[in-house]
Chain A
Amino acid sequence: MRFAKYCLFAIVVLLPLLCFSAAKADYPAETIHIIVPWPAGGGTDNIARAFAASLEAATGASVVVDNVVGAGGVTGTLQAAKAKPDGYTLLLQGSSDISTVMVFQKTPFTLDDFDFLCAFYSTPTWVVAHKDRGYTDLKSFLEAADKNPGKLTMASATPAGAQLLMAAAIHGYTNGKFRIVPYQGGGPFRKGMLSNEVDAGVVHSPIMLPEVKEGIIRVLGTGAPLGKINYDPLRKTKTLNEMGIPFEVGITRGILLPRNTPHEVRAKLLEASKKAASSPAFAEFGAKFGFSPVWMEGQDFRKLLDNEVRTFKEIKEKFVDTQKR
């Protein structure tokens, strides 16, 4: 019977809590939920938790991160699209994480299902290689591939993501003589690079940055300018465009809201987000993360995504669909 007492106790304690949360007042009066469609501990999740802490300070409301995981980010994104547009459910997602699923799969949502609030981190995708391979830039890798056709490998950190498209674009535009090997995410990719089992690899920066600083890994090229990275020697890294490959790729992470979120709620949230993104605590996180934050408002974020979906589709049709991997 002791067990029954425990249950009763739990009900007595929990019931008032439930009642309190039903009370309503001026926005934000309730807990704000940020949906992260990726598991706890990853890049997007880390940014979300730092942002949540800063947003909490800026709004005074409590802000929690919900990791809604599954189907390559689709589950969480869909849940946010279907949420009540009251400003209490936010989605933190990366631009190329959305655009690649839209390009590679049939998704149950479109960009029009969202109001775009703002974006605060923009990190290019880069090509890295182990120092023992001896490549100094992408050109030396491609030359080595030409000398040993079909022998060299380039890892992509995901099987169907921006990294794969970037590898395919390099492969296609330069008529490269290397093979593309898809890995299962950042962890296995890091291990593969460190154990030097693959010749080069494509991954979102700043993954591998500590090893780059250590001199074990070299950056061969980048999908977009590395001006915001807080490691000087890499700022001038050559972009794909500068090397004659007309493709720009990176991941911009920001906040999306369910469509038709009331105007005044959006305005309040935008103001609070701006305050949060420019707070010293968030800048401090950026220093640890490896990049300085940027500030991009909703319409620009949307434009970036439209553009990404278009160019990604192009690259996929041109270089991925035509190749049997």
Chain B
Amino acid sequence: MFENIFMGFEHVLTWYNMAMIFAGTALGILVGALPGLSSPMAMIVLLPLTYSFSGLPALLMMMGAYVGTKLGGSYSAILLRTPGTPAAACTVLDGHPMVLQGKAAQALGYATVGSALGGLMGWLAASLCIPVIAGIAVKSGPADIALIGLAGLVMVSSFVRGSMLKGLIGMLLGLLLSTVGLDPQDTTPRMTFGMEELFGGIDFSAALVGFFGIAVVLSDLHRIEEGATRIREKVGLALPPVRELCRRWRAIAIGAFYGLFVGAVPGVGAEGSTWLAYATVRKNSKNPESFGTGNPDGILAPESSNNAVTGGTMLPMLTLGLPGDGSTAIMLGALLLHGMTPGITLIKESPEMVYGLLAGLGVAHVFMFLLGTLAIRPYIALLQNDRAWIFPFVLIMAMVGCFAGTNNPFPVLLAVLFGILGHLMELRDFPIPTVVLGVILGPIIEVNLRLALSLSNDDWWVFADTWPRKIILALILYIISKEIFLELKRMRLQSQNNPTVTP
């Protein structure tokens, strides 16, 4: 087992391959930091570039980009309140409040350390348990995936700040948007208004760019003058002291655990894991109220989680040829282009590729940490300029990202529409992330739920017929009943404290 891992490093530790990983990681951080452009986009840009390389260097470069975007996304999430990638959306919650308190350097430090440690933990676990976890993941049926998605939705609605009702409304709006397009089973057009462009459903990049990018720019437009000072100051990076990290190891470990686990289940993706990790850390915290106001644990958990996902997705990708997210789907395509057949035979036919990629994942995280700590300035320079300069740039790059996914101008129009809608919702204190989460998880839940029912001949007991399913189901019911109970208690307390004045 260990000789295989060493063999992987042997293939990777050449100047040429290291340079490829370094270039990929550097580009990844940049692309990740620019809102709207995320890792599938970086990798599609790299795909034609890598034709001239041989297989391993090409995929190592993509691996670097995959890892780099996970950190880069948090830069813009923290500094601009606009997540650079969907997986960084959760980092906004506590990252941006820290900036408002003048602790931008510390926030970036926590993000960098959290990403690196989480990623390395994920990598280590992936290297050690490729056979074990892959065996579990391949057995997870559509019912399991539907339940995991549902658990994610319930958890997010239970921890939104402010009104839970508004959180639920936002989430349901997201779910509603996700039903637009052809019905996944009998291909009836749903809410397409006869428009061909809507048949394929609402492009996810349009929702992300609209609700997070454009809506944020719109909301901040009238604050340009008052807010410019806080972003003008020089932002560096302050690594958190080791003692502080030791105290907060739990957030990193929980994040890495969820990242690895969710990454290994194909189809859920990094976004879900960050919210799950955040919710868990918050619920186990001694003072959950401090979350959302700049608690470093609220940065460490999602950042550790979204980097650990890279280790998790390697399990089904390298052992079964199953993509865990968009980026790994492109990597699998690149494997094919370079003459390898992804699937269970890959590890036998080209072990140097499988273990080389695993080694590359570890090296990429080291590079990411070095780039993050030593060369953060040029990256931040892009985001740190006067906001009036940045916003057109954000808008243009977001639109490009929106366009480049499909090479079609329609998602750009949708994004503008969502931007206006998101802005109006934000003005009325609706939590925007819940909308986007609904859009992301909606199709995953719907497709798997209906598939599970098709397979079981419409028998709903399929969702409770194995122990893992019973446990997830119990978890969902527990969260819902607890929320209702807490709400009732709060209402009773309120009515006791402010007895209604009777005439």
Contact = CB atoms under 8 A, between A and B. Distances in A.
Partners in one complex: yes
Interface of A: 2-4, 39-42, 45-46, 49-50, 53, 64-72, 74-76, 78-79, 104-105, 108, 150-151, 153, 159-160, 179, 181-184, 187-188, 190-192, 194-195, 197-198, 209-211, 213-214, 216, 284, 288-289, 325
26 contacts: A40-B330, A41-B334, A46-B336, A64-B48, A67-B406, A68-B407, A70-B197, A71-B197, A71-B199, A72-B200, A75-B200, A79-B408, A105-B199, A159-B184, A182-B184, A184-B451, A190-B320, A190-B321, A191-B320, A197-B142, A197-B455, A210-B342, A211-B343, A288-B340, A289-B336, A325-B186
B344 interface: yes
Contacts of A159: 182-187
B44 A69 contact: no
B236 interface: no
A183 B344 CA distance: 21
Contacts of B428: none
Given A70-B410, A75-B200, A194-B344, 4 more contacts: A41-B330, A65-B48, A160-B182, A184-B451
A1 to B, nearest CB: 9
Contact of A181 (B330, B341, B343, B455): B455
A299 B337 CA distance: 30
A284 B329 CA distance: 23
Interface stretch (B133-141, B166-174, B357-365): B133-141
B408 A75 contact: yes
Interface size class of B (residues with CB under 8 A): 35 or more
Contacts of B322: 187, 190-191, 194
Contacts of A216: 344
B376 interface: no
B454 A179 contact: yes
Kindly name the residue among A76, A181, A198, A288 whose own CB sees the greatest number of chain B CB atoms within 10 A.
A181
A65 B337 CA distance: 14
Contacts of A150: 457
A192 B320 CA distance: 12
Pairs A-B, 5 closest by C-beta atoms:
A41-B333, A71-B199, A160-B187, A70-B200, A210-B343
A153 B455 contact: yes
Contact of A41 (B184, B329, B393, B406): B329
Interface of B: 44, 47-48, 51, 138-142, 182-187, 196-200, 203, 266-267, 320-323, 329-330, 332-334, 336-337, 339-346, 381-382, 385, 389, 393, 405-408, 410, 447, 451, 454-455, 457
Given A40-B333, A41-B332, A150-B457, A288 B341 contact: yes
Contact of A213 (B47, B321, B345, B406): B345
B186 A210 contact: no
Contacts of B320: 190-191, 194
A72 B329 CA distance: 18
A259 B323 CA distance: 38
A3 B185 contact: no
B451 A183 contact: yes
Given A179-B457, A182-B454, A183-B451, A211 B197 contact: no
